Amino acid sequence: MHVLLPGGVAALDRLFPGRVAELVEHGAQPFDYGQSQFYMIGKWMPRIQTELHTLSQSRPFLEGHIRRWVGELPNVAIIDEAHASALLWDQSRARVRGVALQRPGVEEELRGGLVIDAMGRNSRVPRWLAENGFPVVPETKVGIDLGYATGRFRVPERLRPHHPMLYIVGPPPQWTRVGVRLVVENGDVFGAMGGYHGDHPPADLKGFLEFARSLSQPEVFEVLAQSELIAPIERFRIPSAIRRHYARMTRFPGGVLPIGDSICHFDPAFGQGMTVAAIEAEALASLDFARGSEDAIRREYFRKIEDVIETAWELSSGENFKYPQTAGRRPAGFSLIRRYKDRLATCGDPDVVRDLYRVFALTAPPQILLRPRVIARALGLRLAA
Ligand SMILES: Cc1cc2nc3c(=O)[nH]c(=O)nc-3n(C[C@H](O)[C@H](O)[C@H](O)COP(=O)(O)OP(=O)(O)OC[C@H]3O[C@@H](n4cnc5c(N)ncnc54)[C@H](O)[C@@H]3O)c2cc1C
């Protein structure tokens, strides 16, 4: 399953104008983020109109469409089944000139002006840099020990959810489990079960449903238990969320830039990774390589993507740190920030909740939640006119 948050839908629409509509025509489920059913902080969150356009679909569906759009670009050639086995360097070993590729029966060198590292969370670029004399990439890790399992179900018509997305989170720290019910293309429903700190969901249907039954709210179990599993349950293990601070490196080669999970791999339970990657792709597309030094362009790229990574990281790790078992350094003022966020969510003022959702949806920076008007309304104070 894959939710594309409103910030990601907007970025995708700017990268491929008009094509998001194609996803919907083929079955992706569009919805207003504010109408989602979120059980968080021990309460159901308010459902409001936000005009924050969100999309729900399976991962192969979304990846298949985007791959086709990219393949249709006139200057793109897709090489299938290729494994990047090393970076190619210039003589001074200060600049990357391409990648070594391995395909069945073929080894070749692909030379180019810029290599984008999109190898995901297990990217080998940090290792390749170290092997070539560059400093270790600084990392922040948040140890979550998350087990995650997803199953695709065919749901009887009478049980088909009225809204595509329902999320049950904890509540932490007592409940280490999350559950998601998501309608995707064809009207199928994905059930996703997650458990932190060793409380992992099993991959057999009986155990999966037992796990769903044990969530703090019954809505996910009630639908899945009466539906038909139509594909094997898949399991994932995510020991840590990892953020690589490339911008802090004192030395970095020219000719290579990272993107997506290779920079930051979030807790997948919050569905942020693709949105961050889409916003990074936009930042990459906006760089003018004909102007300025390579160093300046790289700094510009890292500066442009820093805010969205920081926002998504703070949001998801803020949830993770509600569990005392979560390993890593809690941000300064963590408990104050947490209490304020809970207050924003429960204050009952739709304008404040809308602002909160804009931040969750990665369409607005968290600073909007510190404007005097928002603080006053969240705390129920009246500001002098
Ligand atoms: C269970 C789960 C659920 C998730 N749900 C959501 C969600 O609902 N919404 C959301 O936004 N995000 C979600 N995410 C996160 C999202 O999947 C990632 O953020 C996103 O896929 C990152 O894209 P990427 O291209 O950077 O990395 P990846 O999708 O990991 O792609 C990296 C690719 O590089 C390839 N590769 C690696 N090494 C090499 C090599 N040496 N040579 C050639 N190819 C190589 C890999 O095979 C892979 O295809 C979820 C993640 C998980 C694990």
Handedness of CA 209, 213, 219, 225 (dihedral sign): positive
pLDDT 10s digits, 114-166 = 999 999 999 999 999 999 999 999 999 999 999 999 999 999 999 999 899 99
Domain boundary among 97, 113, 129: 113
Q: Does 103 score more than 70 pLDDT?
A: yes
Residue 99 lies in a domain: yes
pLDDT at 2: 86
* Residue 376 banded pLDDT, cuts 50, 70, 90: very high
pLDDT at 384: 63
Output the six-digit token pair for 266: 């979030």
Residue 104 lies in a domain: yes
Domain boundary among 72, 96, 113: 113
Output the six-digit token pair for 311: 């926002």
Ligand 1 mean position, distance from CA 195 (Å): 20
Query: Cα–Cα distance between 192 and 183 in angstroms, integer?
Result: 11
Residues near ligand 1 (Cβ within 6 A) = 1-3, 83-84, 118-120, 124, 148, 236, 260-262, 268, 271-275, 277
Handedness of CA 261, 263, 269, 274 (dihedral sign): negative
Domain boundary among 113, 132, 151: 113
Probe residue for ligand 1, chosen from 1, 2, 181 as the CB with the greatest number of ligand atoms within 8 Å: 2
Residue 166 lies in a domain: no
Residue 135 lies in a domain: no
pLDDT at 86: 97
Residues 306-315, mean pLDDT to the nearest whole number? 96
pLDDT 10s digits, 333-354 = 899 999 999 999 989 899 999 9
Cβ atoms of 224 and 213 closer than 8 Å: no
Probe residue for ligand 1, chosen from 150, 274, 276, 316 as the CB with the greatest number of ligand atoms within 8 Å: 274
Residue 177 lies in a domain: no
Ligand 1 mean position, distance from CA 323 (Å): 26
Q: Name the CA radius of gyration of the chain, rounded.
A: 22
Closest C-alpha to ligand 1, atom 52: 268
Ligand 1 mean position, distance from CA 8 (Å): 15
Range of the domain at 102: 83-113
Output the six-digit token pair for 292: 């300025």
Closest atom of ligand 1 to CA, residue 148: 1
Ligand 1 mean position, distance from CA 111 (Å): 24
pLDDT at 81: 93
Q: How many domains does the chain have?
A: 2
Ligand 1 mean position, distance from CA 174 (Å): 30
Query: Residue 355: what are its φ and ψ, rounded to 5°?
Result: -60, -40
pLDDT at 205: 98
Residues 53-78, mean pLDDT to the nearest whole number? 96
Residue 146 lies in a domain: no
Q: Does 385 score more than 70 pLDDT?
A: no
Probe residue for ligand 1, chosen from 261, 272, 311, 360 as the CB with the greatest number of ligand atoms within 8 Å: 261
pLDDT at 324: 96
pLDDT 10s digits, 194-207 = 999 999 999 999 99
Residue 98 lies in a domain: yes
pLDDT 10s digits, 165-192 = 999 999 999 999 999 999 999 899 999 9
Query: Cα–Cα distance between 71 and 78 in angstroms, integer?
Result: 7
Q: Does 1 score more than 80 pLDDT?
A: no
pLDDT 10s digits, 226-243 = 999 999 999 999 999 999
Ligand 1 mean position, distance from CA 261 (Å): 6
